[in-house]
Amino acid sequence: MVIKLVEVSHKHVLKKINVSIPNLIYGLLGKEKSGKTTLLKIIAGLIKPSKGEVIFESEGSSGPNHQRQRIVFIPHNYGLFEDLTVRENITFALNSSLIKEKKNVKEELLKKLIGSFNLKGLEGKKIRDINRVNKLKVALARAVAANPSAILLDEPLKGFPAYLKRTYLLKMKKLFSWLKKPVVYATTDFEEVAYLASNIAILYKGEIILEGPPFLVKRKPKNEEIAEILGIKNLFKCEINQVKTNSLMLKCGGCRIKVNLGETVAENFPLREGEEILIGLPSEDVDIAEIAPTITGQNILEGKIVSISYVDPLFEVIVETEIGNVVSLVPAIKIFEKKLRPHMNVSAIFSYSSPIPIKTI
């Protein structure tokens, strides 16, 4: 099934949303109060849009289906019946999806779901008496039991520690790949949708402003705020010294940085010598070395390590340079191999293709 949103607007919250969501995991990324929850509720049929429509197209169908589908919406609090048990919550979904099946068939499916979602021993516990991790497992089990046409999730991992996020992102990716149904996953965390989704959309001030594969979307922030939404921590103001067909030469403080331009960058805004420009540098693109390499094709900034912090599963190394602090994400093995430590003189190294021109100032 494909979910199509055509010119969907809602009061002052959403403005002319046009997206097509296939049988894949689709990420919806945006800051708090950007309209993500409202959009999910419109797809689920819980809110009527002020304008536009939601169309469901089934495989092999001759045209759009405007009928209400079996959409499962999992809100941030999971929407479970707090006064019912784990068994009763899942059974409720089974009863609604398997109305004509015999009791023993439903019982067998219930046992499989309890086992598959590692809920054995919790069947008789009320939802209010179990922790958030187990509530998520019940919500996912109930979603599968409902035999949905699509699943919508609103920040399900908010508040989870990093190690649990990774565990449940992996579990959800396996589950949703097996289901082969449209899944819309809304979050404020780029890393979550980058791991889960084939395509993502940036919802910014009620509008979809970027859409595509995560690795491409991250290369196209339109302003500083969107760069921050995409998890780009290194943002620097530089002066354009030279403009060539496929590259820029920038002056950043006392340093010179070369930037290879992608095909679409020059179309986004004019690039003129002497103007200031904001560039972004993804932390994962920055390498740290005590001795700068002699290979070509690299920008090199000399500096001193300010701090090293564990940001599960990597280490965040902050290097003070002439253009400002540069943040690098480094695997643990490199920290120990290179014997990196605070106050150590190092080089921050990144390729000519790493910096992202964001806008002229």
| pLDDT single digits (tens) 40-63 | 999 999 999 999 999 998 865 545
Is the pLDDT assigned to residue 266 strictly greater than 80?
no
Q: What is the dihedral of CA 211, 216, 220, 225, to 10 degrees?
A: 70
DSSP string, 260-316: EPPTTHHHHS---TT-EEEEEE-GGG-EEESS----SSEEEEEEEEEEEEEETTEEE
Is the pLDDT assigned to residue 129 strictly greater than 50?
yes
pLDDT number for residue 85: 98
- Give percent of the chain with pLDDT exceeding 70: 94
Is the pLDDT assigned to residue 263 strictly greater than 60?
no
* DSSP state letter for 79: T
Domain 225-360 has CATH 2.40.50.100: yes
Which of residues 207 and 245 earns the better pLDDT score? 207
pLDDT number for residue 65: 56
* Distance from the first to the final alpha carbon of the chain: 44
- pLDDT 10s digits, 63-108: 555 455 789 999 999 999 999 999 999 999 998 887 667 788 889 9
Q: Where are the domains of the chain?
A: 2-224, 225-360
2-224 fold: Rossmann fold (3.40.50)
Facing residues of 328 across strands? 317
Same fold, 2-224 and 225-360: no
pLDDT number for residue 265: 57
Which of residues 175 and 296 earns the better pLDDT score? 175
pLDDT band at 267 (very low <50, low <70, confident <90, very high): low
| Residue 313, preceding peptide bond in cis (omega within 30° of 0) | yes
pLDDT, mean of residues 294-318: 90
Single-letter amino acid code for the residue at 117: F
Is residue 20 classed exposed, middle or buried when 0-12, 13-18 and 19+ CB atoms within 10 A define those classes? middle
Q: Tokens at residue 199, please?
A: 């395509």
Is the pLDDT assigned to residue 150 strictly greater than 70?
yes
pLDDT number for residue 268: 57
pLDDT, mean of residues 106-117: 94
pLDDT, mean of residues 169-185: 95
Q: Tokens at residue 159, please?
A: 């508040």
pLDDT number for residue 69: 73
